[in-house]
Chain A
Amino acid sequence: MAEPWTTAAHRLFKKHNIRTVGYVPDAGLTELIKSCHADNDIKSVVMTTEEEGIGLSSGAWLGGEKAAVLMQSSGVGNTVNAIASIVSSCQFPLFMIVTMRGQYGESNPWQMPMGQAVAPVLKSLGMHVFEVETDDEAAEAIEAGLKMAFVSNAAVAILIGQKLIGAKSFIADVAEEVINVDN
């Protein structure tokens, strides 16, 4: 069985000396966030909005350290001006892992529009976007992306597809009982 992508991501963060990880949680990021918090060499920073991740990562680089930013696909919408104005203008490295909603097997229609917009929006900002759907593909793309970001001053987003993380059947996950009121 392949190494789970979250395990590979943490292993590669260590290998590439990622010292700060900023995140806004997503169900698909749970294991990676846990492993970052459990790691004393990584400063794990919970953020109020994904935009903070762009400032955080750029600031870490100014101070000589590498950071990664984790978010759900809907959070990409909150990062756009910061990526264009700060990362692109200054050629800051940027490494983001985005767990996708609004695609394969989605059951919340409100996730669909932003989920579909993520890749074209990030590409329009000049980012390198790698869409992955297996653990092996994810590990390979994370390794490649970390090199590109920090050695080649690139802005890289790894989009972890819903096929890999599993479409969330959110009602069954969070509720003991379901009552529909708009009948």
Chain B
Amino acid sequence: MSTTKLNRSDVLNKLMEVRGNALAIAGLGSPVWDLAASDHQPENFYNWGGMGCAVSMGLGCALAQPKRNVWVITGDGEALMGVGSFATVANQRPDNLVIIILDNEHYGETGMQKTHTSGGTDLAAMAAGAGIPTTMTVHSDEDLDNLINALKTSPLPLVASIKVENTKPKLVLPSRDGVYIKTRFRQAVLGSTAALHVT
């Protein structure tokens, strides 16, 4: 278990500097507020529910958009609920999918109960065991630099568990309207005509 932890908004700000044109899918809870705070844009899909599905949603998007990188930004509790998706992703091996877990070792939205990662569960090791080719746990600024380097040079898919302080983030709230979030994302990615006129 880690002793050094990073500040979650510092981490996201730094990662968003190297996001490039990656599409982003945020798992429910704090990762949504974090992504909205650091890089709010139409090519973000914000999940306000459906816990456990952020990684499989990222996989579906990555398979459909092989020329774009897709970044899933989620929490440890959300990732644990859909942890089998690591195996599904590893089997598909999309070379454009990045899974970033902001691991504060707690369920942040429900009263800060401890998650399994506070009791010794290692999400990066679980991802490696599932067959994900690049996995890492980030404890320090130096580790974060290594992750940023790995994003450019290491084989994808990649799973990184970033140990962050158990602090309440600033609440930067995107729209809660799922239809709007979905359509805005599709318009940005596909163009309005393709997004709005299905053939």
- Interface on A for B, CB 8 Å cutoff? 17, 19-20, 22, 43, 45-49, 51-65, 67, 81-82, 85-86, 89-92, 150-151
Interface of A is mostly: helix
Contact B82 A51 (CB under 8 A): yes
Please report the C-alpha to C-alpha distance between residue A142 and residue B48 in the assembled complex, in whole angstroms. 31
Contact A62 B57 (CB under 8 A): yes
With a CB–CB cut-off of 8 A, which chain B residues contact A46?
A: 88, 91
Is B146 in contact with chain A by the CB < 8 A criterion?
A: no
Contact B64 A64 (CB under 8 A): yes
Q: Given A52-B56, A55-B54, do A60 and B182 touch, yes or no (CB 8 Å)?
A: no
Q: Given A59-B64, A62-B182, do A81 and B25 touch, yes or no (CB 8 Å)?
A: no
Is B36 in contact with chain A by the CB < 8 A criterion?
A: no
Contact A20 B50 (CB under 8 A): no
Per the 8 Å Cβ criterion, residues 34-82 of B in contact with A are 45, 47-65, 68, 70, 82
Most buried by B among A52, A55, A90: A55
Kindly report which residue of chain A lies nearest to residue B181, judged by CB atoms: A90
With a CB–CB cut-off of 8 A, which chain B residues contact A43?
A: 63, 92
Please report the C-alpha to C-alpha distance between residue A19 and residue B63 in the assembled complex, in whole angstroms. 9
In order of increasing CB-CB distance, the 5 nearest A-B pairs are A59-B60, A63-B64, A55-B56, A48-B84, A85-B49
Contact B63 A86 (CB under 8 A): no
Kindly report which residue of chain B lies nearest to residue A43, judged by CB atoms: B63
Please report the C-alpha to C-alpha distance between residue A113 and residue B42 in the assembled complex, in whole angstroms. 44
Please report the C-alpha to C-alpha distance between residue A59 and residue B55 in the assembled complex, in whole angstroms. 9
Please report the C-alpha to C-alpha distance between residue A11 and residue B47 in the assembled complex, in whole angstroms. 34
Please report the C-alpha to C-alpha distance between residue A81 and residue B47 in the assembled complex, in whole angstroms. 13
